[in-house]
Amino acid sequence: MKRVLSVLLTLVVAVVLYGAVIEPRLLLDGVAFEAEVPGLPPAWEGERVALLADFQIGMWGGNEGMARHAVQDAIESEVAAVLFAGDFVYSPDSTTVDRAVGIVRPVREAGIPLVAVFGNHDHSLMDRSSERGADIAGYLRQRLESIGATVLENEAVELRREGGSLWVAGIGSVWAGASDPAAALDAVPDGAPRLVLMHNPESYREVPAGEGPLALAGHTHGGQIRLPFMGRAQSWLDIVREGETVADGWALDSLGAPANRLYVSRGIGFSGAPIRVNCRPELTIITLHAADGDMPTRGPVTPGA
């Protein structure tokens, strides 16, 4: 019995060390896929955009080094735009904001458009029941705009290129009571090609049919700890939450309205504990193509497929 307990203790220590030191800080998962966008102009055909999320700068034992690494990789990938799906910071502190903005500043210095929405932590909300603390969101917006980034809250921005434009509609934070997908999409001209950016995947449920052909989110961290050897790996999110959950990757077709698609990034940082197991931090590179005919189904047809 002592030998068994010793082996189990050694395994637990090894997993904790791996999850706290190796996987989140040394193993960036570069996810790349191609996606169709209706009405995409020739100027954007084959161009790539990067999706980043959840730096959570300011959390104890945070992942600042990996955030810098992911930003540099995005720049070196020569993307046409960088989209940030919220939670730049973890704690409401101006020094933390300055550090987070410093991490993304190289994107703008490289001449790449940076478009962001805010997450719950950017509004100083640690959980759904939290009361807003310091108004750090206003300072964060000011600092981001000072480096030339665009911050959206139920608004849209036109990314212009010679020969055509692509729109990004940005939805506000669910936990901050600021999620209004209809307002964000109303800011996009009828029929214009668009990407829909949000922090919390819950906003996706309210995107009207056909208005979100490529929606992007973060917030979940992929669950941070995922269980292997169970077919499609499951996170604690899949286990403890009721109803449909998108821990990461493509959402089931049943989650949103017809002709919409949602991809959820695992992000970079942590919440709760500074650990990731079988859930590497993610930099997502998306190659855009004009849609030809019906939109394809994305993600598994049934759970676990």
We report the CATH number of the domain holding residue 257 as 3.60.21
Is the model's pLDDT at 222 over the cut of 70?
yes
Phi/psi at 99 (nearest 5 deg)? Answer: -65, -45
Residue 242 has a pLDDT of 55
What's the CA gap between 158 and 287, in Å, rounded? 18
Q: How many domains does the chain have?
A: 1
**Contact yes or no for 175/143 (Cβ under 8 A):** no
245 lies in some domain: yes
> What pLDDT band is residue 241 in, cutting at 50, 70 and 90?
low
Round to whole Å and give the CA distance between 221 and 104: 19
In a domain, 296, yes or no: no
Residue 295 lies in a domain: no
For the chain, the average pLDDT equals 90
The reply to whether 233 falls in a domain is: yes
Residue 60, pLDDT score? 93
pLDDT of residue 227: 78
Residue 188 lies in a domain: yes
63 and 281 Cβ atoms separated by less than 8 Å: yes
The answer to whether position 53 is within a domain reads yes
pLDDT band at 9 (very low <50, low <70, confident <90, very high): confident
Burial label, 215 (beta-carbon count in 10 A; 0-12, 13-18, 19+): buried
143-149: average pLDDT:
98
pLDDT score for 272: 87
Give pLDDT, residue 304.
Answer: 40
In a domain, 142, yes or no: yes
Looking at the domain assignment, is residue 300 inside a domain?
Answer: no
- Domain containing 178 equals 2-290
